[in-house]
Amino acid sequence: MLMFGCKKSDEVVSAPAPVVNVTVTNLPTLPAGQGHYQVWATFIIFSKVGGSESPLHDSGYVSLGEFNVGTNGQDLVDPDGGPARFAIPAGDDPQLINEVTIALQAPETPLNKVAHEERGAPIIGARFLGTSSMAVANLNVGYIKAFGTNFSGVAGKYTITAPSSPGDSNSRIWFYTPTPSPAPSLMNLPRLDSDWTYEGWVAHDQGSPPRTEYFSTGKFRRADSADFDGAGPGRGSGSGLNFPGQDFIVGDSTRPAKPNLLSPGYWFMITLEPVPDNSDGPFFLRLLSSRQSGEQVERPEIFTGDMFNVSSSYQPTARITVAR
């Protein structure tokens, strides 16, 4: 009787690498000089105590890949323009992936060598859920490791008046209400961490075809105190207010002199801005907006108008899956 058998192979078949897929919505293209986006994840670390395994803590954030959004608003490209690639780093177990954020990374410069190595300003985040074969995270701004709020409760008013130059009362905007006594007009602004600030803006629609110019009214963290530059470089000879705002009395190459902010075409915004801020214009995360329309027949010395919460229209989301 002859016996035939198969020789056992010593070849080890490697398991396929985990596949990471990222899709984003409402995340705009970052122009040159404004950095890139990066996906950062944490993994659960286990400790062995008394022969048993128990969760110890999360790892530090590790990068799953960096990207920008293509000009079509959908394709993701790497910072050099090629296709974006995402992967679980070698040594990290995809079964233990826990949290994920997408952060804004400042551009790398001679003074900033960690643009790709340390997490920047987080925009959206989520915790992974799923099965042993597939992990899914739906990222949003309200996640605790991002902003921790969706900003739906933010409200405000603006007042046009010029205490540093009373004769030019239409050329200055401050975010306060003057009566019955001066008080902050920006309400329910969440406290921000050091990666973000608020900033006010005057927007001016003009020209044909129409274009919009933006002039900063200053960065700030609180509604009940002056912003970082007080009445601003265009201030008049008087003093400003202890609220966020700006005078446009003295002009230069970057700002108008004595514009009539009550005239058609001017409107106002509050945005979220990253730190550091590498753009002279507003960041895409807008919270409050006010459109000014119609010529004022009688321009009051002090005019207070409403701002409207537009945050939901500008908030990005993302979906990240890990086939593990």
- Average pLDDT taken over every residue of the chain: 86
pLDDT tens-place string over residues 219-255:
999 999 999 998 888 887 777 889 999 989 888 878 8
pLDDT tens-place string over residues 113-152:
555 688 999 999 999 999 999 999 999 999 999 999 999 9
Do the beta carbons of residue 102 and residue 140 sit within 8 Å?
A: no
What's the predicted TM-score (pTM) here? 0.86
**13 or 208, greater pLDDT:** 208
Q: How many CB atoms lie within 10 A of CB 184?
A: 18
pLDDT of residue 299: 46
**Rounded CA separation 274/79 (Å):** 19
pLDDT of residue 145: 94
Residue 9 pLDDT grade (very low, low, confident, very high; cuts 50, 70, 90): low
**107 or 5, greater pLDDT:** 107
Per-residue pLDDT at 54 exceeds 80: no
pLDDT tens-place string over residues 156-172:
999 998 666 666 778 88
3-class secondary structure for the chain?
A: CCCCCCCCCCCCCCCCCCEEEEEEECCCCCCCCCCEEEEEEEEEEEEEECCEEEEEEECCCEEEEEEEECCCCCCEECCCCCECCCCCCCCCCHHHEEEEEEEEECCCECCECCCCCCCCEEEEEEECEECCCEEEEEEECCCCCCCCCCCCCCEEEEEECCCCCHHHCCCEEECEECCCCCEECCECCCCCCCCEEEEEEEEEEECCCCEEEEEEEEEECCCCCCCCCCCCCCCCCCCCCCCCEEECCCCECCECCCCCCCCCCEEEEEEEEECCCCCCCCCCCEEEEEECCCCCCCCCCCEEEEEEECHHHHCCEEEEEEEC
**Rounded CA separation 106/123 (Å):** 13
Segment among 6-15, 20-29, 63-72 with least mean pLDDT: 6-15
pLDDT of residue 255: 83
Report in angstroms the alpha-carbon separations of 6 from 2, 12, 13, 135, 219.
14, 16, 18, 39, 74
pLDDT of residue 121: 94
Average pLDDT in the 191-202 region? Answer: 96
- For the chain, the structural domain boundaries read 19-148, 156-313
Report in angstroms the alpha-carbon separations of 255 from 68, 173, 259, 280, 321.
31, 14, 9, 12, 46
Q: Which of 84, 88, 87, 86 is nearest to 43 (CA)?
A: 88
Per-residue pLDDT at 178 exceeds 60: yes
pLDDT of residue 303: 85
User: Which phi-psi region, left, alpha or beta, contains residue 95 (left: φ > 0; alpha: ψ -120 to 50)?
Assistant: alpha
